[in-house]
A and B are shown apart, each in its own frame.
Chain A
Amino acid sequence: MKSDSTLRLALAVLLLSLQTACKDAADSAADLTEPKRYVHSLDGVPASLDPAQAGTRYAKFLVLNLYDTLYRYRYLARPYELAPNLAAAMPELSKDGLTLTIRLKRGVHFIDDPAFADGKGREVTAQDVIYSLQRHFDPATRSQGAWLWQGRIEGLDAWKDQGSNYEQPVSGLRALDRHTLEIRLTQPYPQFVHTLAQGFAGVVPREAVTAYGLELGRRAVGSGPFRLQSIDSARARLVRNERFRQETFDLALEGFDPERDQGLGLTALDGRSSPFIDELEVEFIPEDAARWSSFYSGLTQFTKVPVAQFGQVLESTAPPTLKPELQERFQLQAAPELGFVYTSFNMADPEIGYSEDPQRNARNRALRCAIVKGFDWTQRNQRFFGGIGEVFPGVIPPRLPEYDPEQDRGSTEADPAAARALLAAADWDAGNLPVLEYGFPASVTERQLFEQFRGFMEAIGYPRAKIQPLSYASFGDYYRAYSQGQVMLITSAWTMDYPDAENTVQLFYGPHRAPGANAASFDDPQFNTAFSAAATLPPSPQRTELYRAANQRVIDECAAITGLVRRLVLLWDRQVILQPDWAFVGGYAMRFVDLRDPAGQR
């Protein structure tokens, strides 16, 4: 027993000595240079840094810091507001709403890179913007963002059909001079300027694409606030782009709200020129426990708190507040995500969706409505989203101007008795109910979500054996399956690309049917008419009415079990001056991050 204790003591002393020695050595090495470094964390890994492939939140986050876009979102303004970025001003729009003239800032340069003839980054011109849009329509680019401009810019689709020859001009994309760009649209597209603020719209020099081809996904030759130093599957290291244009940070113009932003230290930024940090390190930590440990032990300075940790972090959930013992070290933001989770029915499946037989069609609708009625959003919210998510009816989530707070919430309230009555009225019983196939990419959480769903359905009288899981090895496999109409119930989460209801309502637009974003293949003439009419209108009461009418059709036809907006709990070190944003524009915040004092530097 004694020797056992001695052995344990010796081991502990050995480990502690090793740890102290390593830490001292590591710290002294770090002390030699004292760059102002901020360490962020993300819960996923970006696959590619090519703006054309910036389809994920993680890729967008980095791309927006490495490349310039014509427009960006103001740092603190909510609702979101567009602001010029590489563009000198907001676009000049012709009276018919079809021609935009955009002037670029002068003297903006790409970073130095061997891809340029003399290794020196040249000035960014209007031709670069045109090239960057064109390459989305070149199959060799493997673009994930072409859909933003498909059928929208005059001559661009035809240019692709003719072989994507860059020597051939596109009639709708013209450089009037080195710094002025003219874009002609095929029809009014009120969301167009939003598309120019996406990671997909990052401006790329042709020389870099020629030199690196697909390898541009692991290099970055942009004119953004940071340069890429290194990237692997664990982290990316970015350093300040010394040639980034000097622009004065105007706190008021960025949307500062003294009440909301109190105590964040943002006033210290006013009048200075960004970026404020020398190094931006982004740790990719998909594992919740490891991400939390890294943050808590100070390895990272920002984290999205996993739902499993809510109990240890939050004092209360309504509203979310931080535990007193954590308040000294950390800042908290519990912001709703821009997007929502929902489950749609495959309307192309005659077992549950559209049927040529009118009677079966009506019975299928009743079946879907019964399932919607049997679904308990409150329980789902409690079990999987920490009880702080926001449940809403339809596909227009709260905080969008088109959201109707007065809308009937019946479609989100569980009523097993009403569900059973609906089934009985449509002659559904345990014997003739179809087998429900519920799809999901393989993971423990997804399986738990399915089991909860199965429990809800059993409560409305659905036989357990008739609710089957369809598990797929990867998201790609799952995506393929539901795109090919092989999944009856499709669970999804939609993260908005821009803050406009068009981006969520289009999820049920007939022509966008699978393999497009309308995975449900919902095809309702009334919906389609309302959406088509609204799509070309600028924000207005008329457009709001049209979108609300379309939204009501999704609810009336019971095309989906929807929806819940996740509220994300974000924590960051108090030494960091930051107002974070986990939404599509999250990357833009990094150019405005600062550290309070040398003690906050690592």
Chain B
Amino acid sequence: MLGRFLALRSFYALSLLLGVTLLTFALMVWFGPDQTYELIGRNSTPEQIDELRAELGYDQPFWNRYGHWLVELASGDLGLSNRSGESVSTLLRRALPVTAALVLPGFLLGNLLGLAAGLWAAWRRGSLWDRLILGASVTGLSLSFLVIIIALQLLLCTPYGLNWFPARGWRMDSLGAYLLHVTVPTLALLLVTLGYNTRFYRAVAAEELQRDHVRTALAYGATPLSLLSGPVLRNCLVPVITRVLYSIPLVLVSGSLLLETYFGIPGIGRVTFDAISSGDQPVLLAVVTLTAALFVVVQLLAEFACRLADPRGRLP
């Protein structure tokens, strides 16, 4: 049973990876920026342009280029950045920990606070607290991430506001430096994710709170805390796990893109942004492949975790 499941999942994963990379490759080749003119010097001649195109492999047919890239990928070689010449693996190894350190506090806080607020709002459903929490969530949902970032920067990081935190940059050479640099991005991430999380967790908990076993537990004198942190939370775990795990790839790449661009943080979002805007195909393909691979892993993890959380579930 497990063998069949793994074989099926591997087939899906491989199909997904091939499909995503093929689509990205085609988009980059046919619609992406042509790096020749980013890399060529002044006073270039048509011959020099042709030479550079050949160096970049642009003169090769599409399928040759894609096939060559797949062979390199299979051998674990992600190639070199066309822009800087740096090994893409080195680039990602350097950028990924930065992004992880950047988004982790906001991600954890956003989910934990969202879960707590969601459970509390569901418990006090219809009350003033519920309306307040829901109102705040909707406000958070309505605000653009960009607006939140700019507002927090102005308020906390500039001489026109409180000027308590650095407006940009990233340091992890000491805990103090790390906290100083991560606080404002964390607040921004928190503000933008809290609304979504709270509403979702409230909906899940509200449904669970209507079940018979909750009414029975209450009749037996269970306290709100014991009930919410016990059977209710346990029974909500499947959607919670699914949501948390599936949001990891999104937060890592797209969530950090704006943060890293506006705060000048050298993480994976910034790397992706630079690769898109400059047409650096090896880097962009590596990021896309990595994201797709992450989705595959997350999918597997989610299935196993859900199975553990709810043994009634079955592997296909």
Contacts and interface: CB of A to CB of B under 8 A. Distances in A.
Contacts of B265: 234
Contacts of B171: 26
A213 interface: yes
B311 interface: no
Interface in B32-56: 33-46, 48-49, 51-52, 54-55
B136 to A, nearest CB: 12
Nearest to B163: A297
A497 B42 CA distance: 10
A299 interface: yes
A215 B86 contact: yes
Given A28-B176, A297-B163, A516-B45, A287 B262 contact: yes
Interface in B219-236: none
Interface stretch (A109-117, A353-361, A431-439, A473-481): A473-481
A229 B123 CA distance: 55
Contact of A480 (B36, B41, B43, B80): B36
Given A48-B83, A476-B38, A299 B279 contact: no
A142 B36 CA distance: 10
B164 A19 contact: yes
B34 A147 contact: no
A518 B36 CA distance: 18
A55 interface: yes
A293 B157 contact: yes
B165 to A, nearest CB: 6
B87 A21 contact: no
Scoring B38, B168, B180, B271 by chain A CB atoms within 10 A of each residue's CB, the highest score goes to: B168
* Size bracket, chain A contacts: 35 or more
Interface in A293-337: 293-294, 296-297, 299
B38 A474 contact: yes
Interface string B80-96: 10011111001000110
Interface in B146-203: 153, 156-159, 162-171, 173-177, 179-180, 183
A476 B279 contact: yes
Contact of B180 (A19, A144, A217): A19
Given A232-B266, A293-B167, A517-B43, A477 B33 contact: yes
Contact of B85 (A217, A293, A475): A217
Interface residues of B, number: 62
Contact of B169 (A29, A142, A294): A294
B80 A55 contact: no
B41 A143 contact: yes
Contacts of B90: 218
A285 B177 contact: no
Given A21-B179, A234-B170, A479-B37, A293 B84 contact: no
Given A22-B176, A297-B163, A218 B85 contact: yes
Given A15-B164, A47-B83, A483-B37, A26 B177 contact: yes
A122 interface: no
A444 interface: no
A218 B93 CA distance: 14
Judged by DSSP, the binding face of A is helix
B187 to A, nearest CB: 8
B168 A47 contact: no
A13 B171 CA distance: 24
A479 B33 CA distance: 11
Given A19-B164, A294-B168, A515-B44, A475 B38 contact: yes
Contact of B277 (A15, A147, A218, A474): A474
B180 A474 contact: no
Contacts of B44: 147, 483, 515-516
A393 to B, nearest CB: 24
A25 B85 contact: no
Nearest to B179: A22
A28 B54 CA distance: 53
Given A55-B42, A476-B279, A23 B169 contact: no
Nearest to A472: B33
A126 B167 CA distance: 47
Contacts of A50: 85
A512 interface: yes
B167 A290 contact: yes
B43 A512 contact: yes
Contacts of A48: 83-85
B278 interface: yes
Nearest to B43: A147
17 contacts: A19-B180, A19-B183, A21-B176, A139-B51, A146-B41, A150-B43, A233-B270, A234-B169, A234-B264, A293-B153, A293-B158, A296-B158, A297-B157, A474-B277, A475-B37, A515-B44, A516-B45
Rank and list the top 5 A-B pairs by shortest CB-CB distance, nearest first: A25-B176, A217-B85, A144-B41, A214-B85, A29-B174
Interface of B: 33-46, 48-49, 51-52, 54-55, 80, 83-87, 90, 94-95, 153, 156-159, 162-171, 173-177, 179-180, 183, 262, 264-266, 270-271, 274, 277-279
